Structure 1
Amino acid sequence: MTFATTDRRSAENQVSPIFLVLAAAFVAAGFALGSGWGNDRVGVFLFVVAGWMVSLCLHEFAHARTALAGGDITIGSKGYLTLNPLKYGHVLLSFVLPVIFVIMGGIGLPGGAVYIERDRISGRLKHSLISAAGPLVNVVFAVVLLVLVGGGWFENPELPATAGEDTVYVHSALPSALAFLAYLQVTAAILNLLPVPGLDGYGIVEPWLSYKTRRAIAPFAPYGMLLLFALVWQSQVGQLLFDLTMRIFDLFGVDGRYMGIGYEMFRFWN
């Protein structure tokens, strides 16, 4: 019985081959861009999509791991510790829609969901930390990417120059791809920390609200992300988000035009 339990726990923690394929695609596309191999525009698209998917898996894994530490011992049996994107909620809502949001609007909106048995977890602070763990992954991802771009990493003057629509050139497509992926991570962190029902920002504050308030807000949770996307895409909120993100880029010494070139190249079909 001991061996059976050990084998089961080992399987629950085994990294999914799907995640490994995504990570390998991310690294391979980055290597191709950095070495000048293949079509840069297609390479940027593959690099950003694979990187975005990897970050979504890590985002949900952080929620799950924190919930496990908080007391929900059912997390492992649900497959949440395997980093398998197929285990995180509905595939369409969890991963397809966020990628479509990136393609349509060039913004990072969170996707995925781990179903945590909250009644197994005691203490409001633990519940808030579980919700905060996911956006923290996006913050760390963004910081690493911005440091790489701001520090001039992966610039290769031996490669042909890549042009943006404003005729600003960079030596390699890879820094621009990194900058655009960083932009997605920053926007995802900012938006996901907003106290909008259905998003992690609301999950952080929800434990501290009265039962009556939580009951009144609950019916709106399924529509929070879609409403937020509509506001960002069709209103002044989008410009405010862009301006705030560019201020963060400035803090790391990253020229926002890198991001613009990365987004232009990402849309290779134009």
Structure 2
Amino acid sequence: MTTAFRRADRRVSPVFLALVAAMAVSGWAVWSEKLAANTGFAVFLFVVSGWVVSLCLHEYAHARTALHSGDLSVADKGYLTLNPLKYTHVLLSIVLPVVFLLMGGIGLPGGAVYIERGRIRGRWRDSLISAAGPLTNVLFAVVCTAPFWLHGLDGVPVPFRCALAFLALLQVTAAILNLLPVPGLDGYGVIEPWLSHSLRRQVEPIAPFGLLLIFGLLWVPELNRAFFDLVHTVLGALGVSEMYSYLGQEFFRFWQGAPGVGGVP
């Protein structure tokens, strides 16, 4: 019975499988252009479902690393099932990131899984738990951009290229922003184990507002421009031109009308 209980704690959730199915079906629709008149809507579904899948993987990476670092309670909390409804802050982890995506076209996951830090064996493991989430976004970005940096775009429809580019942009923005050493974000979690107890106590009240602070700062034109220059530099290193990610965002905003793609190679 104990073994069966443990298996249930780690069995992939039907909710997550439904998200993956939605991503696959919408991706097929974008690729095959079966819904040519509604390509933008298909791109929208593909990007949103892909983004939420990446959020689940981000939080799973935190939990899985914590499990192997001494916190066995993550299994009891359901974090290993990839079910977004099991996260401690569905609003911060799923709802707000999707809202940020719709408002500003940026990927910014928030804190979700509760780790019992007292169970973690060592500060290095503690730091690695926080780093695991953004590193998952990095890996997701590498996978999304594989057709670009492998020069395998022949035969890939333009809308699908653009959708992949925009989804990759979200992963890069999430990785960069989440690695900032701001309370409430994973970057602060990486350095927190190495700070003095008194400093951590002073910073603790600020943590719930770190996510909103970063989002607010990105509305400052100069900061926004500098940030996206960095994002596009990273994407360029992965073979993705700014044109593709721009068109991907335009397809994503289907309610504004489909973008023109004439001249796109």
Against the structure 1 CA distance between its residues 191 and 141, is the aligned structure 2 distance closer, same or farther, given a 3 Å change threshold? same
Question: Partner of 1:95 in structure 2?
Answer: 94
Deviation at 1:156, TM superposition (A): 3.6
> Which of the residues 229, 233, 252 maps onto 1:247?
233
Against the structure 1 CA distance between its residues 261 and 108, is the aligned structure 2 distance closer, same or farther, given a 3 Å change threshold? same
Instruction: Give 1:5's aligned amino acid.
Output: T
Percent identity reads 59
Instruction: Give 2:251's aligned amino acid.
Output: M
Instruction: Give 1:100's aligned amino acid.
Output: V
Contact 1:131 1:200 (8 Å CA) reproduced? yes
The 10-residue stretch of structure 1 (140-149 or 93-102) with the greater mean CA deviation from structure 2:
140-149
| Residue pairs, 1:56-135, within 5 angstroms | 56-135=55-134
Contact 2:105 2:170 (8 Å CA) reproduced? yes
Question: Partner of 1:210 in structure 2?
Answer: 196
**Alignment partner of 1:107: what SS?**
coil
Deviation at 1:53, TM superposition (A): 0.3
**Alignment partner of 1:75: what SS?**
helix
Question: Partner of 2:260 in structure 1?
Answer: none
Question: Partner of 2:20 in structure 1?
Answer: 23
Instruction: Give 1:148's aligned amino acid.
Output: P
> Which of the residues 204, 207, 217 maps onto 1:231?
217
Where structure 2 has 5 or more consecutive residues not aligned to the other structure, the ranges are: 257-265
Question: Partner of 1:177 in structure 2?
Answer: 163
Deviation at 1:112, TM superposition (A): 4.5
Whole-angstrom distance in 2 between the partners of 1:93 and 1:124: 26
Whole-angstrom distance in 2 between the partners of 1:253 and 1:11: 41
How many residue pairs match? The answer is 254
Where structure 1 has 5 or more consecutive residues not aligned to the other structure, the ranges are: 158-170
Deviation at 1:154, TM superposition (A): 5.5
| Residue pairs, 1:125-204, within 5 angstroms | 125-153=124-152, 155-156=154-155, 171-204=157-190
Instruction: Give 2:139's aligned amino acid.
Output: V
Whole-angstrom distance in 1 between the partners of 2:148 and 2:68: 34
**Alignment partner of 2:224: what SS?**
helix
The 10-residue stretch of structure 1 (104-113 or 37-46) with the greater mean CA deviation from structure 2:
104-113
Whole-angstrom distance in 2 between the partners of 1:14 and 1:135: 23
> Which of the residues 2, 6, 29 maps onto 2:3?
6
Contact 2:110 2:185 (8 Å CA) reproduced? no
TM-score by length of 1: 0.91
**Alignment partner of 1:63: what SS?**
helix
The 10-residue stretch of structure 1 (214-223 or 31-40) with the greater mean CA deviation from structure 2:
31-40
Whole-angstrom distance in 2 between the partners of 1:254 and 1:235: 24
Whole-angstrom distance in 2 between the partners of 1:208 and 1:106: 34
Whole-angstrom distance in 2 between the partners of 1:215 and 1:189: 26
Deviation at 1:150, TM superposition (A): 3.8
Against the structure 1 CA distance between its residues 40 and 149, is the aligned structure 2 distance closer, same or farther, given a 3 Å change threshold? farther
